[in-house]
Amino acid sequence: MTNLAARHCKPSVTKLGSADSASFAAQVPGWQVEADVLVKVFPFKNYYETMAFVNMVAWIAHREDHHPDMTVSYNKCRVAFSTHSVGGLSENDFICAAKIESALSA
């Protein structure tokens, strides 16, 4: 398998089947596939840490031109990726999730 975090999003992608989604999901531990959406809730100690995380995700999303839906609370952030143009999950969703995980572990 390739290192998803080292890859970059492509502008033209196709919708993944369930087998491919499961294979990619195994490469981003803690992320769940829920009805064609890749989701993870990140807990934090306080609002400041939550907002720092939101800004980091925004930076990754901007660089990859692939933007998640985020729900922000005082001490947590729910990140949800899907590729609207294909009506479900694409490889881009998993690439961005891997980049978030890589940034958090650095």
Q: What are phi and psi of 36, to 5 degrees?
A: 65, 25
Evaluate if residue 1 carries a pLDDT over 50: no
Residue from 6, 15, 3, 2 nearest 93 by CA: 15
Q: pTM for this one?
A: 0.95
**pLDDT tens string 17-76:** 999 999 999 999 999 999 999 999 999 999 999 999 999 999 999 999 999 999 999 999
pLDDT band at 85 (very low <50, low <70, confident <90, very high): very high
Evaluate if residue 2 carries a pLDDT over 70: no
Q: Which residues contact 8 (CB under 8 A, 6 or more apart)?
A: 64, 95
Q: What is the pLDDT of residue 12?
A: 86
Q: Are 71 and 44 in contact (CB under 8 A)?
A: no
Domain 33-105: top CATH class: alpha beta
Q: How far is CA 5 from CA 12, 32, 49, 71, in A?
A: 19, 17, 22, 23
Domain range annotation of the chain = 33-105
